[in-house]
Chain A
């Protein structure tokens, strides 16, 4: 499967099937800090990905000025 990472944008190929939570553990990413997206659906930790899937791992953290707008 192809995994798209953001900030900075990077694409990695990962072989085999695995659960989303195991994929995130392999990538050393905390589950609560990203959306995992396949097509137009959000995936929970127990969803299985692999094969021809294109999976985007999109970070949700924003930061900077505390008094900003967000």
Chain B
């Protein structure tokens, strides 16, 4: 197979683009896709500092790498979930990545914030593990960025993640979730930082290929709690569709963003207030994170 640009030996075939690329031209393609996402959604500029949420996985480390290469001012944020050896290994990957590139890495321990590591939170609350984990990460990303003066948090969500999330929302017609699905969420309160997803134009295969070709040492093993997760089942379904009809995931997500999402936007904006316990932003009197921490505290006592 030949590279579409130079005719050299291809390293990766991108069926949805009807193209194949050699390593240098694939890296060029990848960087252009990120640049287009950042530019189109005005995610951030070279004049501000970006907090990049990193997990030690391929997506977030690929994102951090491409932003550093493009000259952005960045710092990494690693949230230690306390998930046995998996967290220890993923933290070590992030630390090694940051040290090799002379970048700042902020580490926050979920156990300190919520009162217990994620496996224990699951037992205390009986919520699905991924639900408690997602809630904790969302809360801590915003709080840490605010406390440290960052106006924007970038996450490594890719095209497959976004298509699977959209599929899940549509399957249950979660009309509250649909307008929130966007490559860039603006700050709608002084205590909410912007959240952006510069990899949303790139597939999981492409982020993995970028990480490999750039020599990024990422954690290949999956989180032990991800097995059986609904999002994985949705991804598997979409992968079968993609195999039969390349471009399906792209068309599903981009069609939604361009044509359908505006129809779900609320006329009345959601009223936000500060949590009476922690002061972070919420729609009720007490935020979901404080409720979770309270459940953990009661379980432990």
Q: Which residues of B have CB within 8 Å of A47?
A: 1
Q: How many residues of B contact A (CB 8 A)?
A: 58
B197 to chain A, nearest CB (A): 9
**Chain A window 40-53, contacts with chain B (Cβ cutoff 8 Å), 1 for yes, 0 for no:** 01111111000000
**Which of B1, B161, B239 contacts A44, CB < 8 Å?**
B1
CB-based contact B165/A70 at 8 Å: no
CB-based contact A30/B137 at 8 Å: no
Q: Which residue of B lies closest to A46 (CB)?
A: B1
CB proximity to B under 8 Å, residues A53-70: 58-70
By DSSP majority rule, is chain B's interface helix, strand, loop, or mixed? helix
**Which of B60, B138, B213 contacts A42, CB < 8 Å?**
B213
Residues of chain B at the chain A interface (Cβ within 8 Å): 1, 10-13, 15, 20, 23, 53-55, 57-60, 79, 129-131, 133-135, 137-138, 141, 155-158, 160-161, 164-165, 168, 199, 203-205, 207-209, 212-213, 220-223, 225-226, 229, 231-232, 235-236, 239-240, 242-243
CB proximity to B under 8 Å, residues A7-55: 7, 30-33, 35, 37, 41-47
Q: Which residue of B lies closest to A21 (CB)?
A: B13
A31 to chain B, nearest CB (A): 7
Alpha-carbon gap, A59 to B135, bound state (A) = 26
A42 to chain B, nearest CB (A): 4
**Which of A30, A35, A63, A65 contacts B243, CB < 8 Å?**
A30
**Which of A37, A41, A62, A69 contacts B204, CB < 8 Å?**
A62
CB-based contact B231/A58 at 8 Å: no
Q: On chain A, which size bracket covers the interface?
A: 20 to 34
19 contacts between A and B (CB under 8 A): A6-B220, A30-B240, A30-B243, A32-B15, A42-B23, A43-B11, A44-B1, A58-B212, A59-B220, A61-B239, A63-B226, A64-B231, A65-B133, A65-B137, A65-B231, A67-B135, A69-B55, A69-B60, A70-B199
Q: Which residue of B lies closest to A62 (CB)?
A: B57
Q: Which residue of A lies closest to B63 (CB)?
A: A70
B150 to chain A, nearest CB (A): 15
A25 to chain B, nearest CB (A): 11
CB-based contact B11/A62 at 8 Å: no
**Which of A45, A61, A64, A69 contacts B130, CB < 8 Å?**
A64
Q: Which residues of B have CB within 8 Å of A70?
A: 55, 57, 59-60, 155-158, 161, 199
**Which of A6, A41, A44, A69 contacts B137, CB < 8 Å?**
A69
Alpha-carbon gap, A45 to B13, bound state (A) = 8
CB-based contact B243/A66 at 8 Å: no
CB-based contact B212/A45 at 8 Å: no
Q: A30-B239, A62-B59 are in contact. Are A42 and B11 (CB under 8 A)?
A: yes
A43 to chain B, nearest CB (A): 8
Q: A33-B239, A35-B205, A69-B137 are in contact. Are A44 and B13 (CB under 8 A)?
A: yes
Alpha-carbon gap, A44 to B23, bound state (A) = 12
CB-based contact B243/A64 at 8 Å: no
